[in-house]
Amino acid sequence: MPEAARTYQVRTFGCQMNVHDSERMAGLLEKAGYVRAEADAGEADVVVFNTCAVRENADNRLYGNLGQLAPRKAAHPGMQIAVGGCLAQKDRDAIVRRAPWVDVVFGTHNVGRLPVLLERARIQREAQVEIAESLEAFPSTLPTRRESAYAAWVAISVGCNNTCTFCIVPALRGREKDRRPGDILAEVEALVAEGVTEVTLLGQNVNAYGSDIGDRQAFSKLLRACGRIDGLERVRFTSPHPRDFTDDVIEAMAETPNVMPQLHMPLQSGSSRVLRAMRRSYRQERYLGIIEKVRAAIPDAAITTDIIVGFPGETEADFEETLHVVREARFAQAFTFQYSKRPGTPAAEMPDQVSKETVQARYERLVALQEEISWAENRRQLGRTVEVLVAEGEGRKDDTTRRLSGRAPDNRLVHFTRPERPIRPGDVATVEITYAAPHHLLAEGPVHAVRPTRAGDAWERRNAAPEEPARGVMLGLPTIGVPAPAPEPAGGCNVC
């Protein structure tokens, strides 16, 4: 009787890049013969932690999870535990010293070694720690088990050349390395041929694309090239940096129909003095100037941002400058973070660390202001008719409310009345917005139209037959639209 295939589970913390790396880890394991365990399974043969290092408590979270697994591993000698990602790149051998029941530690540059290291650890019966100092191969060459059939991440670069004082990512991911445009477009075309209708271009500093290949307009050219791919209905990207956000990118967004009217533009602080201390290469005036240009070219664009509250030395006057920018920019949403020391970053050693009580109070004021603005901006959507790309898993209450959910072109989350005719994830529903909340919209009337798509066909094919082990590149991403926030939102990766 053949031996049962070993099962695996990948647990992800951190940014969008980590989520995409986890798709690659899953693809590698399935190509090696492993089978994914059920989501709620507690008995996986291999558990992989893909870690984040940008939060002060990242290591506590990892070791807490590892501690919970220790007794289960002791009871199941064949079980293996692997730790990868940014925290593994940073802490290296320290992980095995603190948690000697871990079998494999690997870094951000050698994801492709995971199956080999697991097998070596099993045969040699000792922990394998292997950390590469530079990228061995661009990750998109690895097999990938994508989570959805209708939308996909496409990495266009890895690493970051910025030196933000609060961020440890460049030290762990390395300097920026760009893919060749032809390789990116070939991947997008292959995905579209399989049914994908939406892609999100991904990079630590996505609009700096081209610096490694010597073309300052490479990113805008890439957006326009995506616009020429037949069958690709929606293009998004995350996360850009204001320093590199040039007029040619704005023009490409406005003039390319399938580039969605949505922009995530990290602010971090509205104070030019704090921005200088953060080593951000723009100031308040420059940032607001970009927002003004985007709104002039794309009037209906939904703009979101990241903001850090309580950076070392931030005064009440500095914080008021942040509130001023929030009022002026009128963000659709803001991902707000209380400053957290990142061990190994210059900011962690800066004087004038702001007290936790002050940070908490400022954070609450910022959240209250942004909630008010988000709600007002969403109310402006009332009465609009929008096309919603139906998603899987976006609406947690959909079953009880008899609704479906998805993303409008501007990436706003829309819940709508379930129509009588069948509609699949990946299909498109045309609805009218009747109610607005700060973080979602409702379309409570009848659905105006349903457009079956190749993406819906792809979803149906995937769910019609039992899964097979991944071979090469599979399709999709964790959710529709801009990929859902990772389990632990990070203030460093992809919010630069």
Lowest mean pLDDT among 65-79, 182-196, 379-393: 65-79
Is pLDDT above 50 for 484? Answer: no
| Cis check: omega of the bond before 239, within 30 degrees of 0 | yes
CA distance 481 to 21: 18
Q: Does the CA dihedral 390-391-392-396 come out positive or negative?
A: negative
Is pLDDT above 90 for 297? Answer: yes
**Mean pLDDT throughout 13-36?**
87
The dihedrals phi and psi of 235, each to the nearest 5 degrees, come to: -125, 130
> In which band, very low, low, confident or very high, does the pLDDT at 59 lie, cut at 50, 70 and 90?
confident
**In the chain, pLDDT over 70 holds for what percent of residues?**
91
Q: Does the CA dihedral 361-364-370-376 come out positive or negative?
A: negative
Q: For residue 143, what pLDDT is reported?
A: 75
> In which band, very low, low, confident or very high, does the pLDDT at 481 lie, cut at 50, 70 and 90?
very low
> In which band, very low, low, confident or very high, does the pLDDT at 316 lie, cut at 50, 70 and 90?
very high
Q: For residue 465, what pLDDT is reported?
A: 57
The single-letter DSSP state of residue 321 is: H
**Mean pLDDT throughout 467-475?**
39
CA distance 403 to 396: 10
Q: For residue 433, what pLDDT is reported?
A: 98
Strand, coil or helix: 309: strand
**Mean pLDDT throughout 432-455?**
97
Is pLDDT above 90 for 489? Answer: no
Q: For residue 24, what pLDDT is reported?
A: 87
- Highest mean pLDDT among 24-38, 51-65, 169-183, 400-414 belongs to 400-414
> In which band, very low, low, confident or very high, does the pLDDT at 475 lie, cut at 50, 70 and 90?
very low
Q: Is the pTM of this model over 0.95?
A: no
Is pLDDT above 70 for 468? Answer: no
272 vs 399, residue with greater confidence:
272
Q: For residue 349, what pLDDT is reported?
A: 92
CA distance 118 to 46: 9
CA distance 307 to 337: 6
484 vs 18, residue with greater confidence:
18
Is pLDDT above 90 for 172? Answer: no
**Mean pLDDT throughout 393-419?**
93
| Angle, helix 284-297 to helix 316-329, in steps of 10 degrees | 10
Q: Are 80 and 45 in contact (CB under 8 A)?
A: yes
286 vs 168, residue with greater confidence:
286
| Residue 401: exposure state from Cβ atoms within 10 A (0-12, 13-18, ≥19) | middle
88 vs 290, residue with greater confidence:
290
Q: For residue 278, what pLDDT is reported?
A: 97
Q: For residue 147, what pLDDT is reported?
A: 80
Is pLDDT above 60 for 244? Answer: yes
Q: For residue 173, what pLDDT is reported?
A: 80
**Mean pLDDT throughout 381-401?**
92
Closest by CA position to 16, among listed 395, 337, 490: 490
Lowest mean pLDDT among 38-47, 294-303, 330-339, 411-420: 38-47
User: What average pLDDT does the chain have?
Assistant: 89
> In which band, very low, low, confident or very high, does the pLDDT at 58 lie, cut at 50, 70 and 90?
confident
Strand, coil or helix: 442: strand
Query: pLDDT tens-digit profile of 335-387?
Result: 999 998 887 899 999 999 999 999 999 999 999 999 999 999 999 999 999 99
Cβ contacts of 295 within 8 Å, gap of 6 or more? 301, 303
Is pLDDT above 50 for 101? Answer: yes
Q: Are 361 and 319 in contact (CB under 8 A)?
A: no
Closest by CA position to 91, among listed 121, 125, 129: 129
CA distance 487 to 472: 26
> In which band, very low, low, confident or very high, does the pLDDT at 158 lie, cut at 50, 70 and 90?
confident
> In which band, very low, low, confident or very high, does the pLDDT at 42 lie, cut at 50, 70 and 90?
low
